[in-house]
Amino acid sequence: MRKERNTGRDERIMEREYRTEHDAMGEIQVPADRYWGAQTQRSRENFQIGVGLETMPDEIIHAFGILKKAAAMANRVLVPGRMTEEKCSRICQAAEEVTEGKLKEHFPLVVWQTGSGTQTNMNVNEVMANRANELAGRKICHPNDDVNMSQSSNDGFPTALHIAAALSVSRRLLPALEGVIRTMKRLEEENRDAIKIGRTHLQDAVPLSFAQEISGWRSSLERDEEQIRTSMKSLLGLALGGTAVGTGLNAPAGFDREVARCIAEETGLPFVTEKNKFHALTSRDEMVFVHGALKGLACDLMKIANDIRFLASGPRCGLGEIRIPENEPGSSIMPGKVNPTQCEQVTMVAVQVMGNDTAVSMAASQGNFELNVFLPVIAYNFLQSVRLLSESMDSLDRKCLTGLRADREKMRENLHRSLMLVTALNPYIGYEHAVETAKLAHRENITLKEACVSLGYLSPERFDEVFHPEAMIGEN
Residues whose CB falls within 8 Å of the CB of residue 358, separated by 6 or more in sequence, listed in order: none
**Sign of the C-alpha dihedral, residues 241, 243, 248, 252?**
negative
Say if residues 148 and 130 touch (Cβ distance below 8 Å): no
Name the pairing type of β-strands 237-238 and 367-368: unpaired
Question: Does 416 qualify as catalytic in the annotation?
Answer: no
Q: Is 142 a catalytic residue?
A: no
Residue 25, burial from CB neighbour count under 10 angstroms (0-12, 13-18, 19+):
exposed
Q: In terms of DSSP bridges, do strands 26-31 and 195-200 run parallel, antiparallel, or are they unpaired?
A: unpaired
Neighbours of 392 (CB within 10 A): 24
- Count Cβ atoms within 10 A of the Cβ of residue 156 and give its class: 0-12 exposed, 13-18 middle, 19 or more buried: buried
* Distance from the Cα of residue 451 to its chain's centroid: 53
100 φ/ψ sector (left φ>0, alpha ψ -120 to 50, else beta): alpha
Rounded CA separation 155/3 (Å): 38
State phi, psi for 235 to the nearest 5 degrees.
-80, -10
Cα of 30 vs its chain's centroid, Å: 36
Q: Is 449 exposed, middle or buried (0-12, 13-18, 19+ CB in 10 A)?
A: middle
Cα separation, 184 vs 178, whole angstroms: 10
Exactly one of 22, 43, 89, 201 is catalytic; which is it? 201
Catalytic residue among 331, 365, 454, 459: 331
Strand partners, 406: 322
**Residue 365 and residue 363: Cα distance in Å, rounded?**
5
Q: Are 217 and 307 in contact (CB under 8 A)?
A: yes
CB 49 within 8 A of CB 66: no
Taking the C-alpha atoms of residue 124 and residue 147, their distance in angstroms, rounded to an integer, is 9
Interatomic CA distance for residues 263 and 72, integer angstroms: 11
Q: Are residues 410 and 210 in contact, defined by beta-carbon separation less than 8 angstroms?
A: no
Question: Per the omega criterion (within 30 degrees of 0), is the bond before 325 cis?
Answer: no
Cα–Cα dist 193/212, whole Å: 10
Q: Supply the residues annotated as catalytic.
A: 201, 331
